[in-house]
Amino acid sequence: MANADKRDYYEVLGIHRNASETEIKKAYRKQAIQFHPDKNPDDKAAEDSFKEANEAYEILSDPQKRAQYDQFGHAGVTSGGFSSGGFGAGSPFGDIFGDIFGDVFGGRQRGRGRRGDDLLYNLEISFEEAAFGVERKIDIPYAKRCDTCKGSGAKPGTEAKVCPTCRGAGQVRFQQGFFSVSKTCSHCNGEGRVIDTPCPDCRGVGSTRDKKSLSIKIPPGVETGNRLKVAGEGGQGTKGGANGDLYVAIEVNEHAIFAREGNDVICEVPISIAQAALGCEIEVPTLENQVSLKIPEGTQSGRTFKLRGKGIPVLQGYGRGDQIVVIRVETPTSLNKRQKEILEEFARISGEEVHPLKRNFISKVMDKLS
Count of domains forming the chain: 2
Higher pLDDT, 148 or 268: 268
Identify whether 164 is part of a domain: no
Question: Is residue 165 within 8 Å of residue 188, measured between CB atoms?
Answer: yes
Is the separation of the CB atoms in 131 and 287 below 8 Å? Answer: yes
In terms of DSSP bridges, do strands 304-307 and 323-330 run parallel, antiparallel, or are they unpaired?
A: antiparallel
Beta pairing, strands 119-125 & 246-252: parallel
Which position has the higher pLDDT, 274 or 103?
274
**Where residue 17 sits, what CATH number does that domain have?**
1.10.287.110
pTM above 0.85, yes or no: no
In the prediction, which pLDDT does 109 show? 45
Query: Are the C-beta atoms of 234 and 118 separated by less than 8 Å?
Result: yes
Q: Choose the final residue of a domain: 105, 131, 157.
A: 105
362 vs 279, higher pLDDT? 279
Residues linked to residue 182 through DSSP beta bridges, in sequence order: 173
How far is residue 168's CA from residue 166's CA, in Å, rounded to a whole number? 5
Of the candidates 105, 134, 161, which is a domain's last residue? 105
- What was the pLDDT predicted at 78? 54
Q: Which of 125, 306, 309, 119 is nearest to 211 (CA)?
A: 119
Domain membership flag for residue 331: yes
| pLDDT cut 90: percent of the chain above it | 34
Domain membership of residue 116 (yes or no) is no
Q: What integer pLDDT is reported at residue 206 of this predicted model?
A: 78
Check if the beta carbon of residue 66 is closer than 8 Å to that of residue 60: yes
The 10s digit of each residue's pLDDT in 53-98 is 888 888 888 887 887 777 767 776 654 333 333 333 334 444 444 4
pLDDT digits (tens, 9 = 90+) for 227-250: 999 998 887 776 567 888 899 999
Half-sphere exposure of 210 (CA within 13 A, CB side): 12
Contact 293, 325 (CB under 8 A): yes
Flag whether 354 is in a domain: yes
Give the range of the structural domain holding residue 45, as residue numbers without chain letter: 3-105
222 found inside a domain: no
The gap from C-alpha 240 to its chain's centroid, in whole angstroms, comes to 28
In a domain, 99, yes or no: yes
**Residue 328 is assigned to a structural domain of this protein:** yes
CATH of the domain at 288: 2.60.260.20
Look at residue 233 and tell me if it is in a domain. no
**Domain boundary, last residue among 57, 84, 105:** 105
